[in-house]
Structure 1
Amino acid sequence: MSNRIINFNAGPAVLPLDVLQAAQEELLNFNNTGMSILEISHRSKPYEEVNHEAEANMKELLGLGDEYRVLFLQGGASTQFAMIPLNFLTPGQTADYILTGVWSEKALKEAKLIGQTHIAGSTAEGKYRRTPQQEEIQLSDKPAYVHITSNNTIYGTQWKELPSFGPVPLFADMSSDILCRPFDASKFSLIYAGAQKNLGPSGVTAVIIRKELTENSPKTIPTMLRYDTHASTDSLYNTPPTFAVYLLNLVLRWIKAQGGLTAMEARNVTKAKLIYDAIDSSNGFYRGHADKDSRSLMNVTFRLPNEELEKIFAAESVAAGMSGLKGHRSVGGLRASIYNAMPVAGCQTLSEFMKEFCRKHG
């Protein structure tokens, strides 16, 4: 569509055009109900079918079976920061956190309010330019769980090899890179992801959790903050974000139609390479924040020689039909978020723009 810009925003982020058009086509009459998906009851059979299909599609893409549930909750990943320790950090235990950026720090901060915590690894000293090596990680004695953040939107780093800790439950915030590549999801006891980056619109958080973890939530915490509440009611204990779940399911259908996670990875590698090559070929004009062996496929962060040039770059990119390239307010610089829905052509356009900008100002 000629009137759509190239959307590099970090979240809420670009959605597949096919998904938006499918939603548009049936917005007034969903599944021949005579009502919009925005209007139907979450207790109705048509919505329950959406809910069940979304869970099935997520598990299919991740290669998971009946030993897992997929919950669709509200409150974003930030609520999961608190729900996890409330449910699983019992007195006398320690929760281990590996720090790789702002969001892992926020998760740790919430856990500290609940119980004892331990920093099992951190790359803060190097300004989060990389993810830790497995041998750098030192767990506490008998941790309740280990928590990681798989991709870091602000610093542009991503775990290339996801860690493993044997029988210790591994939890992950995958808000910004879930379904961007194949991985062994069965090594995780719990994965959560705010949808607004790589899964759908804002308003819903997907939680992929082993069934055994949903069976014994403490009865001393609020009902809405217990995983067993939502697992036992198929995420329908309260009124769910129905439209967001509906769109999330359309995105899952779209990923399947593209060829699944293997196809997503190939496409994402191609996109990222276009931009990283523009950085690496600029003779230092562009400086990537992340170390090369920790570079993210989803968020490319970089700086220019000075802030004035960065302002000019941001302004001229908007004039060239691109949006969202200004870096996070906490670190500055520039950032291109290139989630699954970003077309290869969008990254090609940015790469060419970067090369021309370097030629003019370098």
Structure 2
Amino acid sequence: MKETSGTQFAPGARLTIQAVKEEHSELSKHLCSKYFDFFPLPLMVVNSHRQIVFSNQAFLKAFGVDNLDNFLAKRPGEAMGCIYSTTGENGCGTSAHCRECGAVRALMESILGNVNAEHDCQLLLKSGTDTSAKDLRVFVSPWEAGDDTYYVVTLMDVEDEKRRRVLERIFFHDILNSASGSSGLIDMLLDEAPEEMKETIGVVRSSLFGMIEEIQKQKQLLSMERNEFTVTAITLQGLEIVKSISLEFHSHPKTIGKQICVDNSSVNVAVHTDLALLRRVIVNMLMNALEATPRGGTVTLGLRKEDGKAVFWVKNRTVMPESVKLQIFKRSFSTKGHDRGLGTYSIKLLTEKYLGGEVGFSSEESDGTIFWVKLNQAEPIPD
């Protein structure tokens, strides 16, 4: 072993190339190593000094070499061409830059804790005179092979995912700002416009409201699927929410020629939940009902108490075919064409994953179609 001390992060000590070749020879006889080439993702095996002992063909192909001899005994950053792998006194993992490297962090967590580890890693790679960027997700798992422990490092390219997230943030931020600004201008115009123009401006205003609602829905759904949403629960009066949504959607474009009403038998039930999410669930049920309702039809909202639960429901008279009933709540299923189908899926996702409730529906000739969401009633405030 070559003993070294100069490091600003991970240990710098290494095994000699001859010792690593001996490790490689032993691992080559192991049954598991014979299956690594079946993995489509780049994979390497490193020793406890973070030196490459073995790899699959996908790793060699990703970095343009034919033979592992080019990488044997090197550390991952040195093999991949990280621009910082030569700045530390003892190579990859030992410079100040390496403190923020997800690959080194994942390796050290796995080596020190004998656990599986995962980190994202942004690399700048130099090949000749060219420099390129790589966004990787690095997975590290300990592997007991004989008397020694090695670490299987798998690399997943997440460049497309990272770029998409950046574009989504820019898109949602910019378009919501523009739409909100337009909404304010329309409100000012509505106050100043002559009477004969107010109806037309009102239609434009309602169309813009519908667009903002749809953008907010998509933004929220994406954050929830990625587990990035934080639930903020407060005690709410359920019937007030139902009535406010009903009133708000009287001017929505999908309501033109249709009626929205709140069922007269509805009762108020207090719930302790997230206001934005509950609104989103009820709005999605309402939007689905409006889309299924022909001109002249009515959509009814309601709230009832049932076995200590608050049951929010939305009803329309159209009955779904059996083939549609069997696929409700699937993520990409829709009766409205391709690239749709997020409405009922998001109802289920929001209710069951974030609000701790139940969701269901019925669709029969006698009652029409009813979607319902059942949440726990709020605990009474002690005297």
Answer yes or no: same fold by TM over 0.5.
no
TM-score (norm 1): 0.17
TM-score (norm 2): 0.17
Kindly indicate which of the two structures has a greater share of residues assigned to strand: 2
Larger radius of gyration: 2
